[in-house]
Amino acid sequence: MSQPDAPRQLYVQTVKSILQYNAVRNPGATAFLLRDDNGEKVRVSYRKLLNTVNRLGTSLLRRNLGGAHIAVIGKNSANWSYAFLAVLCGAGVAVPIDREMTAESMLHVIRFASVKAVFADAAALKKLKSVEKKLPKKLQIFSLELSAEGLPTVSELLIEGESCIDEGDDSYMHRAIEPEALALLLFTSGTTDNAKAVMLSNANLCSDLMLVSRRVRLSAQDSTLCVLPMHHAYQMISMLMMLYVGGSVSFCPGLRYVSRDLSFYSPTVFVTVPLMLEKMHAKIFAELSKQSGIKRVFATGRLSSLLERFDWSDFRKFVFKLIHKAFGGRLRMIICGAAALNPDIARDFASFGLPVVIGYGLTECSPIVMCNTPDHALPDGVGQPLDEVTVVVDHINEDGSGELCVKGPVVMLGYYKNKKATAAAMRDGWFHTGDLGFCDENGNYHITGRTKNVIVTKGGKNIYPEELEAYLNNDPVVLESLIFGDEQDGDETVAVQLVPDEEAIKEKIGKKELSSDDVKNAVHDVVGRINRLLPSYKTIRRVLIRKEKLERGGTQKIKRKKESDLPGSDEEIKPEQTGK
């Protein structure tokens, strides 16, 4: 599919300057495209967006919250974004919090981050109510909902702010912002360790959004639907990038509404994570398997390699019009990150005329470090570093992989209240990511795993869990898996917690009901087949079968834990050990 040329870039150092620029240059353009209670589209112009942020920010300053750490907790919504932007653009330091956290975890974040005020939706308010007596006594709480008994709402704060501005209070509008100062505290997902609070500045965020928007060629004609949790850096920077180029942003309040909102808003750019894309892929192929003729042939990939040589985007869009319609009919690009994606899935979407732009990043890097381009979307790599960002591979091992280290304007200020962790991660001006990868002969990078996840055998061999998980997860019998080290006779061997797909097993063996032995035999066959392809030190020696899905974080990455902290399994088998 042909893509637009990269637009001329505006240089910015603060998010506030983005809103100010577009309110003057494109005042009537749509910043937010929303749905009202009657199911009708509502447009919020760039002029109105800046006005809303100014009113809300003015109200916060009137409440003595200038410079304060202010949390935002809730489902994706315009009000969440108004609150976040008002804080980021002059009121203080924004502290987005995962709405899926327990009440006790929210309490911990509020205390640790020295939060003075909280914006919360109904679900978050209920959690905060349950720990009310433990909350800081002077904590100010505002509701993101239209009404909340006894609490000021965003609507009320806006009225208050407008009144102040009418009286001549322009303190918020003229409040100076230091680009390099702390502006945002983001808590990492904590998939391997306890979560840490990453300190980012306006300059960090603006560097990333300028570099990425140019790399993926966003323009004012683009629009996006925020589906991932807004507290996550990946979704946050996607929203800010779209505002930077003058495009429009819509909000999906929950995963159950994704299909509905894709059809309703018709975005041109869809930002997602592998698990979500994998589920969409499975649904699409289930439908294609019912088709006949060219659609089914195309789906098998027989025509893909030929058509990739030509610009057949219109032809693909015609053949797969139902798929394009499911995404709203205007989608030109899928951006995918936060975890590894099966390359075959990226290739299949490209065959449908929907290129998948894969990237790599971390919260500590604002968050995107490198990514592909729409016209050169590698299915099995994360592309090249952004301009102005330098990446080196440190301590390369016998497999050719080493730790990725990053330097550039996107790198964080450090970890909040954690000098030890900052010193460990930031050495000689380089941020040590903890991720393993290599650079190929064309300058494209490939991620192979995490340094903390590597299993090291007694003989010094390195085993990357992500590699083995990819083998397992590519089999229809396996729903998900988690590889971990298992000490046996003084050596580290490979074990796995595995969740089987019982529906796939039923289809495979032709049964409507499964016995425990049916499941164990199916899993045994899969693991045995994979073991026969592996060198002996990599073979999986212990399989723990579980019915419940593994715990995941906000971007649907499986949370890695020590074996002693992993939940119990329902069955255990010892597969064949016939490695090469």
DSSP H helical segments within 375-473, as ranges?
Answer: 419-425, 465-473
More confident residue, 233 or 291: 233
Cβ neighbours of residue 435 closer than 8 Å, sequence gap 6 or more: 360, 362, 403, 404, 447, 449, 450, 451
Give the pTM. 0.83
Mode of pairing for the β-strands spanning 356-361 and 402-407: unpaired
Query: For residue 192, what pLDDT is reported?
Result: 37
Tokens of residue 215, six digits: 């790399």
DSSP label at residue 137: T
At residue 270, does pLDDT exceed 90? yes
Q: Are residues 370 and 460 in the same domain?
A: no
How large is the average pLDDT for residues 215-236? 96
Query: For residue 578, what pLDDT is reported?
Result: 43
Q: Are residues 403 and 530 in the same domain?
A: no
Asked if residue 320 lies in contact with residue 179, where contact means CB atoms within 8 angstroms, the answer is: no
The number of beta carbons lying within 10 Å of the beta carbon of residue 263 is 13
Q: Are residues 401 and 312 in the same domain?
A: yes
Q: Are residues 29 and 131 in the same domain?
A: yes
C-alpha of 305 from chain center: 30
Domain that holds residue 473: 455-573
Q: Are residues 404 and 382 in the same domain?
A: yes
Query: For residue 566, what pLDDT is reported?
Result: 55
More confident residue, 343 or 163: 163
Q: How confident is the model at residue 564 (pLDDT cuts 50, 70, 90)?
A: very low
**How far is residue 148's CA from residue 153's CA, in Å, rounded to a whole number?**
7
Q: Is 215 helix (H, G, I), strand (E, B) or coil?
A: helix
- Domain of 465: which CATH number? 3.30.300.30
At residue 2, does pLDDT exceed 70? no
Give 63-87 pLDDT, tens digit per residue: 999 999 999 999 999 999 999 999 9
Last residue of a domain, one of 201, 219, 245: 201
Nearest-Å Rg of the Cα atoms of the chain is 25
190: left (phi over 0), alpha (psi -120 to 50) or beta: left
Flag whether 541 is in a domain.
yes
Q: How confident is the model at residue 220 (pLDDT cuts 50, 70, 90)?
A: very high
Q: Are residues 436 and 492 in the same domain?
A: no
Flag whether 164 is in a domain.
yes
Q: ∠ at Cα 481 (475, 482), nearest 5°?
A: 145
Q: Are residues 382 and 520 in the same domain?
A: no
Average pLDDT, the chain: 88
Asked if residue 389 lies in contact with residue 369, where contact means CB atoms within 8 angstroms, the answer is: yes
Query: For residue 579, what pLDDT is reported?
Result: 44
Question: What whole-number percentage of the chain has pLDDT above 90?
Answer: 67
**How far is residue 421's CA from residue 234's CA, in Å, rounded to a whole number?**
22
Task: Dump the DSSP string for 73-117.
Answer: ESSS-HHHHHHHHHIIIIIEEEEEE-TTS-HHHHHHHHHHTTEEE
Flag whether 469 is in a domain.
yes
Q: Are residues 324 and 428 in the same domain?
A: yes
User: How many structural domains does the chain have?
Assistant: 3
DSSP H helical segments within 479-575, as ranges?
Answer: 502-509, 516-531
DSSP H helical segments within 266-341, as ranges?
Answer: 274-288, 294-299, 304-307, 313-319, 321-326
Give 306-329 pLDDT, tens digit per residue: 555 555 556 666 667 888 898 999
Flag whether 251 is in a domain.
no
Flag whether 373 is in a domain.
yes
How large is the average pLDDT for residues 279-287? 81
How large is the average pLDDT for residues 244-267? 96
Tokens of residue 528, six digits: 């045995």
H-run or E-run covering 250: strand 248-251
**How far is residue 82's CA from residue 553's CA, in Å, rounded to a whole number?**
25
Q: Are residues 54 and 75 in the same domain?
A: yes
Give 447-506 pLDDT, tens digit per residue: 988 887 878 776 667 788 888 998 898 899 999 999 998 888 777 889 999 999 999 999
Nearest CA to 544 out of 576, 569, 516 is that of 569
Last residue of a domain, one of 186, 201, 216: 201
Asked if residue 455 lies in contact with residue 485, where contact means CB atoms within 8 angstroms, the answer is: yes
Flag whether 239 is in a domain.
no
Give 153-209 pLDDT, tens digit per residue: 999 999 999 999 999 999 999 999 999 999 999 998 544 345 689 999 999 999 999
149: left (phi over 0), alpha (psi -120 to 50) or beta: beta
Last residue of a domain, one of 173, 201, 229: 201
- Domain of 422: which CATH number? 3.40.50.12780
At residue 337, does pLDDT exceed 90? no
Cβ neighbours of residue 456 closer than 8 Å, sequence gap 6 or more: 462, 463, 492
Asked if residue 172 lies in contact with residue 91, where contact means CB atoms within 8 angstroms, the answer is: yes
Flag whether 221 is in a domain.
no
Asked if residue 494 lies in contact with residue 463, where contact means CB atoms within 8 angstroms, the answer is: yes
How large is the average pLDDT for residues 404-427? 96
Q: How confident is the model at residue 301 (pLDDT cuts 50, 70, 90)?
A: very low
Determine which of 6-15, 207-216, 306-315, 509-518 has the lowest per-residue pLDDT on average: 306-315
**How far is residue 286's CA from residue 290's CA, in Å, rounded to a whole number?**
7
Q: At what angle do helices 274-288 and 343-351 cross, to 10 degrees?
A: 50
How large is the average pLDDT for residues 410-430? 95
Query: For residue 339, what pLDDT is reported?
Result: 79
Query: For residue 300, what pLDDT is reported?
Result: 47
Q: Are residues 281 and 399 in the same domain?
A: yes
Residue type, 216: V
Query: For residue 90, what pLDDT is reported?
Result: 95
Nearest CA to 50 out of 70, 68, 24, 74 is that of 24
Flag whether 5 is in a domain.
no
Query: For residue 488, what pLDDT is reported?
Result: 81
Determine which of 136-145, 152-161, 371-380, 570-579 has the lowest per-residue pLDDT on average: 570-579
Q: Are residues 395 and 491 in the same domain?
A: no
Query: For residue 574, what pLDDT is reported?
Result: 72
Query: For residue 191, what pLDDT is reported?
Result: 40
Residue type, 459: G
Give 376-388 pLDDT, tens digit per residue: 999 999 999 999 9
Residues 511, 285, 254, 229, CA torsion sign: positive
Q: Are residues 120 and 103 in the same domain?
A: yes
Q: How confident is the model at residue 302 (pLDDT cuts 50, 70, 90)?
A: very low
